[in-house]
Chain A
């Protein structure tokens, strides 16, 4: 598996905020390769740089230096090489949030279909694919429910379905099990594992949740902006 092209490749990536006496080095010379079917965990105390790294991989935050490659395409090399970063996120990356972040005014089906519409699907095709994803994640019966009427586990499954809607090869999950009990957290991690295998995707999970550590392929600890392999 390691002979494959990494889906996420980070080389000597640094990020600092401020200058002079107020300079804070959030990431220092971080390098990391993540391959298809891998589910890796990013751990670290608050302020260690986990969110900074996740934001950089998600093309939300510009690094200070280093190289970022996604699916073999260099997207950052001292500067962003793509001007349409939102399009890049839409095409290549799926996001899963701690608080699911479903649109409260859209039904479960519409929450997934909205991503497909953005990607250019017509209504019928978008709805078909959204229903398939809901069925795949075993929440097909909640297609017409609004997020306010879903349980935490159901809402997180629908958030996962939304993240997978556009068949991304990279899934970034920010504390996806923080709001769930052990059983539901396990189910969510199993789903992410299934997605990694079925879609040949790389999944990065930022977590503090010890109960899911045994479901991760690698665990990386961020301390003072440096990455340590804890596997």
Chain B
């Protein structure tokens, strides 16, 4: 006879409420893990979307995401001539804040040469940049549609298409502009600033013919490391492989945020363990008389251990499942991307099982110390 099941059946309301409470707690743990994964995915997303094996940036920098980088645009031609390089692109990056209606919108501006490497991986509505000025393609998370207009700097841009999976390491949705438009947005001075410069006798502003990075794809039989070492020999450039760029993003750009989330997740797991232990202990204390009676009438320890451990596991796993369902259904309303991976879910389920078993130990220890004479105590 399964006593755990019968106890749960009899106190179903209380059990469900406890499971719901636990599901919220475990849901938060799952959400934290999801945010952690989302943060890493966001950080790597642009690197993946750009689909370049080689990143060429300013010498001595770890740009363009971790540090600012400026290199001449004609670097792209030099890189394109390297044996093994099949495709190149020159790109600029900058963050910008604008307004859509009454809402503020932070955007990650990517400038690229239409037709070259560096543009959106796929267009999900509208079309890509045609090469005309003041056109833009945006990530769908901007909630802008083709035909919408957006003010960037002193110019008004028309949204011609939307894409997906294009966000900065900080989670800002990307907006793709032509390289010319992006450079103007980045470097052009306002008319009043130009007048001031002229008054100071400076007739030309800083060169706008620079880009943040040059990216390159290589042929399948070429070695990215070999090409990187070749570029490194040029005094004014640094180069890195896609893997190295990914490492810079995950181990440098979002390192602190990653650790913060990781620590917070660890603390939440610890809090869950303490709460589960307290719930199990309370449930055990509620049944002290019944446990004493069971011992008195001859129930072996395993019957009492099963009663406590089975309830603990049922509570933990049902709480986990409810938490998982909850978070899966609301993950899209989180401001930051939340990625739930099956392996993370399984790992947390494993941790929940271990926590429940450990938490049960306290209850089991209490139950096994109960004197059967307590049943006769009236």
Contacts and interface: CB of A to CB of B under 8 A. Distances in A.
A101 B293 contact: yes
A51 B376 contact: yes
A86 B299 contact: yes
A101 B375 contact: yes
A60 B290 CA distance: 16
Interface stretch (A22-30, A102-110, A215-223): A102-110
A197 B94 CA distance: 96
A61 interface: yes
Nearest to A107: B6
Interface stretch (B7-15, B59-67, B102-110): B7-15
A95 interface: yes
Interface stretch (A13-21, A74-82, A112-120): A112-120
A117 B378 CA distance: 26
Contact of A60 (B10, B294, B373): B373
Nearest to B301: A86
Nearest to B10: A105
Interface residues of B, number: 24
A213 interface: no
A207 to B, nearest CB: 13
A115 B9 CA distance: 20
Nearest to B376: A174
Contacts of A89: 296-298
A97 B6 contact: no
Interface in A49-67: 51, 54-55, 58, 60-61
Interface string A140-178: 000000100000000000000010000000000011000
Given A89-B298, A175-B378, A55 B11 contact: no
A211 interface: no
A61 B290 CA distance: 19
B297 A110 contact: no
Interface string B170-205: 000000000000000000000000000000000000
Most buried by A among B298, B299, B371, B372: B298
A194 interface: no
Contact of B298 (A90, A113, A174): A90
B295 interface: yes
Interface string B261-294: 0000000000000000000000000000110011
A22 to B, nearest CB: 20
Given A99-B378, A101-B375, A174-B376, A114 B290 contact: no
A118 B376 contact: no
B333 interface: no
Given A55-B376, A114-B3, A119-B298, 14 more contacts: A60-B371, A60-B372, A87-B300, A90-B297, A97-B293, A97-B375, A101-B293, A103-B294, A104-B10, A105-B3, A114-B299, A117-B1, A123-B1, A175-B378
Q: Which 3 A/B pairs are nearest by Cβ-Cβ distance?
A: A90-B298, A105-B10, A105-B7
